Amino acid sequence: MRGTMLYGPGDVRFETRPDPTIAKPADAIISISAACVCGSDLWPYRGIQTVTEPTPMGHEYCGIVEEVGRAVTSIKPGQFVIGSFFASDNSCPHCRIGYQTSCQHVEFVGGAQAPLLRVPLADGTLVATPETPPDELIPSLLSTSDVLGTGWFAADAANVKPGSTVVVVGDGAVGLLGVLSAKHMGAERIIAMSRHESRQKLAREFGATDVVTERGDEGVARIKELTSGIGADAVLECVGTQESMMQAIRSTRPGGFVSYVGVPHGVALKGEELFFTHVRLHGGPAPVRRYLPELIDQVWSGKINPGKVFDLTLPLDQVAEGYRAMDERRVIKTLLRP
Ligand SMILES: [Zn+2]
């Protein structure tokens, strides 16, 4: 087969790779129906995270099960399945309380920007849809694999409740789906922080009631102004920089919650400031597996349409252009079809 490899900053290649095979008895091989480029793929693409050797790319996926190892019992060839970017057994003590991305047997799933993918711990990791989905549902189903699951976790970890005032820092696909998730959880007011017109529009479509274009201290001042000087009940930090993290913490009311789902790059927090904010922090790699059955159900029944974050669809062999378009912020998120 041919698959996507990252050689170094800006150097994405679609090249001949060995077909994945069952390496362990709990593995499954799936044929990819759709994959996509993640905001976190841009960190190594931009050279902010070092690439030491050519790396297979892609960790968001859905597709048809081709083959399973002898230890796999619940997942069957022919099923349409979705999984998370971390494989998990879904049975250890961490999985049982809903932190599958901290599974005792966690394994990263990589190489999904390809026609075939090996998924470890198939029974614990993969969730099958009720039947083979119609084509128009594929983008939304794909989004549950990471970007929606992460936005959903962001809203959940920030304790969004009916009536909450919510701020979303970051207008990437995760931030936009954080807006959708907060709306779904009953937030009354959702303030999206965004400077890009097309993203603001989608944020409003997903449920944002206000848009703030200022950043940093000015952004914080604007949030305080909009909340009568109090700050938000829940702030979703969906970027991962020092500026976005401080903006999130300082926009939150005492006793409020900040969730952080953007992979932190160079973020350092001062203990004294944190101490006096009375803010609760909860974040990390989203335990998408916890939410997958519910999210698939929501998409399947047409209650949500998160696939709208994909504003560019390309054949897999044009994956390099998919990265470029996202890097230059010409598009929100690239969907790839084999
Ligand atoms: Zn586990």
Domain ranges in the chain are 2-146+287-337, 150-283
- 105 alpha carbon – ligand 1 mean position (Å): 6
| Beta strands 86-87 and 28-36, pairing class | unpaired
Q: Band of the pLDDT at 220, cuts 50, 70, 90?
A: very high
Neighbours of ion ligand 1 (CB under 5 A): 88-89, 92, 95, 103
- 57 alpha carbon – ligand 1 mean position (Å): 24
| Beta strands 165-169 and 232-237, pairing class | parallel
* Residue 42 pLDDT exceeds 90: yes
- 115 alpha carbon – ligand 1 mean position (Å): 27
- 174 alpha carbon – ligand 1 mean position (Å): 25
- Tell me how far apart the alpha carbons of residues 285 and 131 are, in angstroms, rounded to a whole number: 29
- 29 alpha carbon – ligand 1 mean position (Å): 20
Contacts of 2 (CB under 8 A, 6+ apart): 14, 15, 16, 17, 114, 115, 316, 317
Among 3.40.190.80, 3.90.180.10, 3.40.50.150, 3.40.1160.10, what is the CATH number of 2-146+287-337? 3.90.180.10
- 122 alpha carbon – ligand 1 mean position (Å): 12
Give the mean model confidence (pLDDT) for residues 32-47.
95
First and final C-alpha spacing in the chain: 11
* Residue 303 pLDDT exceeds 90: yes
Q: Is the pTM for the entire model greater than 0.85? A: yes
User: Amino acid identity, residue 9?
Assistant: P
Q: By percentage, how much of the chain surpasses pLDDT 70?
A: 100
Predicted local confidence at residue 263, as pLDDT: 87
- 120 alpha carbon – ligand 1 mean position (Å): 12
Give the mean model confidence (pLDDT) for residues 191-198.
95
* Residue 13 pLDDT exceeds 90: yes
- Tell me how far apart the alpha carbons of residues 241 and 262 are, in angstroms, rounded to a whole number: 8
- 85 alpha carbon – ligand 1 mean position (Å): 14
Tokens encoding 325: 């378009």
Predicted local confidence at residue 243, as pLDDT: 95
- 100 alpha carbon – ligand 1 mean position (Å): 6
Q: Band of the pLDDT at 172, cuts 50, 70, 90?
A: very high
* CATH architecture of the domain with residue range 150-283: 3-Layer(aba) Sandwich (3.40)
Predicted confidence (pLDDT) per residue in 127-163, tens digit: 999 999 999 999 999 999 999 999 999 999 999 999 9
- Tell me how many degrees the CA angle 34-37-42 measures, rounded to the nearest 5: 170
Predicted local confidence at residue 151, as pLDDT: 98
Give the mean model confidence (pLDDT) for residues 74-93.
98
Predicted confidence (pLDDT) per residue in 113-122, tens digit: 999 999 999 9
